[in-house]
Amino acid sequence: MLMSSLNYEQVGNFRKDLALAYKTLGVVFGGLVTSPLYVYPSMNLSSPTKDDYMGLYSIMFWTLTLIGVVKYVGIALNADDHGEGGTFAMYSLLCRHADIGILPSKKVYSEEEPLLQNQSARAGRPSWLGKFFERSITARRALLFMAILGMCMLIGDGILTPAISVLSAIQGLRGPFPSVSNAVVEVLSAVILIGLFLLQKYGTSKVSFLFSPIMAAWTFTTPIIGLYSIVHYYPGIFKAISPHYIVRFFLRNKKEGWRMLGGTVLCITGAEAMFADLGHFSKKSIQIAFLSSIYPSLILTYAGQTAYLINNVNDFSDGFYKFVPRPVYWPMFIIATLAAIVASQSLISATFSVIKQSVVLDYFPRVKVVHTSQHKEGEVYSPETNYILMVLCVSVILGFGAGNAIGNAFGVVVIMVMLITTIMLTLVMIIIWRTPPVLVALYFVPFFIMEGSYVSAVFTKIPEGGWLPFAVSIILALVMFGWYYGRQRKMEYEMANKVTVERLTELLARPEVQRVPGLCFFYSNIQDGLTPILGHYIKNMSSLHAVTVFVTLRYLLVAKVDERERILVRRLGPNGVYGCTVQYGYADSLGNGDLAAQVTSSLRRHFETTTEAGEEEAASLEAARMTGVVHVRGKMRFYVGDDAGWFDKVMLGFYEFLHGICRSALPALGTPLQQRVEIGMLYKV
């Protein structure tokens, strides 16, 4: 009986994984599975031969096998952080298993609460590499910058995937209608993308049910055409699986063959999404989808394309549509266009998600983030991000045109993310998994050499269009690092000048200080003590509300915080003064509901568990709430003096600029505009 129930449960779990695997087609693999549209057209081929095509297919086969199957499916998917994937998830995982993080939530806050003790517990003694990072602040900053750069490269992916996918799909119009100019193709592609970006504010829930069927149609029709092409043009194409064709390719083409790696790397574009989108699906569902459909589909599609090109060596500039048989040309054009739009949507949504996580972790200037679905927590929309992406995507199409410059730019983004993932995954193996050195070397050396070769090749494309994503990513990384540096210096000052509970009692005991009616939520960035702005406020206002709650928003390096641990309240020394810590993970929603109402409810529950005085406190709280609620937030600004170092002058000046143009944090908390008060204070560096 037990065996039958276990079998029934296993069958149920397998069916659930299959259903999730089907859904991943429309979300996770859009960029990867549409790559045949632009790989061959992006290559700088000059008088290619049959042997050249055999070598190129061999390179693509082994790239998909080693990076896609071995690295991502076999290894990287196991380096998740509470179900979340991506470079920053690996960074947070490393921070919790060794003292190598320099995030404020790791340095400033105490670890008295059970939640932080459980989530930040180290796995035994740190390894030799962990000790090195603990000793070197330079190494820790380099690791942080690498994680940030990985996120920024994913945002660059969100700019280029819509541009190259839609443009490559619409190029199909020029096959039956050669009179259609490149300018018409570019304008039509730009119009489609503008329409797609304008629809983002409505969310994708209403049309997302179409995503998986569209991508399934694409995934299963392209390999069928590939098989037809193999049989019809060159049945011996799978001889190219032998690695000796790669050796012959490089011996024959030498430097030019190395430069062509910048085009072949595009065959693996979107593989990083397998890991980055792990939080939306299960590991097993992604593995099932990739191994059962995506990988075979790509291998057969590229084989079919290559078989066609072996017999039509000069058709590489339109390598996808030329190998599509005429009877199914228009159905494939429609499917390709829809698949390109879905792939674009997947990367746009991933960009919104990355921006949201960065804002929640306080690593990016605050922008508006809206949840477009009541049922899907991860479905978010950022107006500022959306319109900047739209302008950049359209500029890429109209600026680079239908040449291979976009492919050059795309290659830089793709391989940089993969190389960063390889390095960070090696750190996870050594510091957390304690993998034997021989196995670490067997992973790191081959992948570092292979991806390093790709990086060296795509860097030669920087003058030919590859500069764009590199420049965008570096600018975004500098913005995030500058924002972080300013927030860190601000927090260090607050910790050095914090107001203790004893000092607050002394301030309130002064005869000129009055307790005025009402409920005040006073927002602070520190927990072990109170913000220096409080002393500034009391001295200038000579008052404090009858009930004052000091609220600290605490962003933890975890994906999600349990609802029971979300709001922690406690009494402070003076009468009517309370402390409250609101804890969020980087995948949690910050503005989910009225925060003030949630804190008030937590205080009432806290009073119920205490002595008889709790009833009086509950009555005082209710009376204060009925009188009026005010939300006070300090706005500390830096005054950079002439005696400050050049680094501080540049970085803090940059931070002040960013701080001046970004949104306030209070609107994200659901606080009414008429209840907000900001107190300014200057801090001399």
355-384 pLDDT per residue, tens: 877 777 778 888 877 766 655 555 678 888
pLDDT at residue 475 greater than cutoff 50? yes
Q: Does 487 map to a domain?
A: no
Question: Which structural domain range is residue 11 located in?
Answer: 1-482
Last residue of a domain, one of 426, 450, 482: 482
Same domain? 15 vs 111: yes
- Tallying the residues shown for the chain, one arrives at 685
Same domain? 469 vs 587: no
Q: Does 185 map to a domain?
A: yes
Same domain? 190 vs 263: yes
* Torsion over CA: 227, 230, 232, 236 (sign): negative
Question: Model confidence at 10, in pLDDT bands (50, 70, 90)?
Answer: low
Q: Measure the N-to-C terminal CA separation of the chain; round to a whole number of Å.
A: 72
Same domain? 394 vs 531: no
Q: The whole model's pTM is what?
A: 0.79
pLDDT in the model for residue 401: 67
The domain total for the chain is: 2
Q: What is the mean pLDDT of residues 401-414?
A: 70
Same domain? 50 vs 76: yes
Q: Does 17 map to a domain?
A: yes
Q: Does 491 map to a domain?
A: no
Q: Which of 94-108, 131-145, 604-618 has the lowest mean pLDDT?
A: 94-108
Last residue of a domain, one of 482, 507, 524: 482
Q: Does 492 map to a domain?
A: no
Same domain? 532 vs 475: no
Same domain? 396 vs 525: no
Dist CA 293 CA 275 (whole Å) = 17
Last residue of a domain, one of 426, 451, 482: 482
Same domain? 334 vs 472: yes
Same domain? 518 vs 444: no
Q: Which of 333, 401, 301, 340 is nearest to 172 (CA)?
A: 333
Q: Which of 30-44, 239-253, 435-449 has the lowest mean pLDDT?
A: 30-44
- More confident site: 570 or 296: 296
Same domain? 454 vs 413: yes
Beta carbons within 8 Å of 167's beta carbon, 6+ residues apart: 185, 186, 189, 397, 402, 406
Which stretches of 171-291 are DSSP H helices?
A: 182-198, 211-233, 244-259, 261-264, 272-276, 283-289
Dist CA 312 CA 43 (whole Å) = 16
Q: What is the mean pLDDT of residues 228-252?
A: 93
Q: Which of 383-397, 456-470, 536-550, 612-626 has the lowest mean pLDDT?
A: 456-470
Strand pairing report for 380-381 and 370-371: antiparallel
Q: Does 490 map to a domain?
A: no
Q: Does 259 map to a domain?
A: yes
SS3 call for 181: coil
Q: What is the CATH number of the domain that holds 31?
A: 1.20.1740.10
Same domain? 473 vs 509: no
Q: Which of 132, 11, 658, 640 is nearest to 430 (CA)?
A: 132
pLDDT at residue 256 greater than cutoff 70? yes
Same domain? 104 vs 203: yes
Q: Are 264 and 83 in contact (CB under 8 A)?
A: no
Which residue spans within 83-189 are E strands per DSSP?
none
pLDDT in the model for residue 339: 92
Q: Does 489 map to a domain?
A: no
